[in-house]
Amino acid sequence: MTKLSININKPALLRNSRGSNFPDIVQIAKDCERFGAQGITVHPRPDERHITYGDISELKKHVRTEYNIEGYPSKAWMDLVLINKPTQATLVPDPPGALTSNAGWDTVKHQSFLSEVLSELKRAKIRSSLFMENDLHQIDKAKQAGADRIELYTGPYAHQYKADKNKAIQPYTQASKHALEIGLALNAGHDLSLDNLKFFKESIPGLLEVSIGHALWIDAIYVGLENAIMMYRRLL
């Protein structure tokens, strides 16, 4: 089974827009789990425009499924992760002002840096994942750096899906097969939705986890949170 991890950045953004604790992010996480989420994902950014650094420790006290913290591994982010010890730390190469994650790691250029960070996570017994594109050489270097998993960046797949889903999925089937052959486990995320998720899941053997935020929260506006979560679960 492929696990559904729900990114709760969007309700945090909604909360922050009014300067209060409504909606309560801890309660949001609890409800997501109660409705069927198998993981909670957060991505604190330097400007704290949605999930704040203070949210991380509060969520740690209450998340009962897998807890996944995403982010660029700055010293502040690494300190946060090492203190709170999530199930998984997903490293993304976002610059500080990035609106959303839209590129994978250059594991050749950043090999030394990533090796050091991943070693630190391994010593802390935190599972690691690198946000990656479909370049096989880059995936080889992710393994060499010491990653436990890679998260395939599915933005290009989502954008091409309606035009030609078979063409859109081809680089991902090749990349996933290669990753599994060299001993990397597989996650995926970015712009996956009720429209394109089922085909992606059926085409990618060994897919352990998808992280979904934006599309699921939009769907929840229309059908309700519990219904939206169960609709995604059924596709997986």
The residues that are catalytic are 43, 70, 190
Instruction: Output the DSSP codes for 158-170.
Output: HHHTTT-HHHHHH
Does residue 130 sit in helix, strand or coil? strand
Does residue 33 sit in helix, strand or coil? helix
- The C-alpha atoms of residue 32 and residue 48 are separated, in whole angstroms, by 22
Beta strands in 142-226 (DSSP E): 149-153, 185-189, 207-212
Residue 129 in contact with residue 159, Cβ under 8 Å? Answer: no
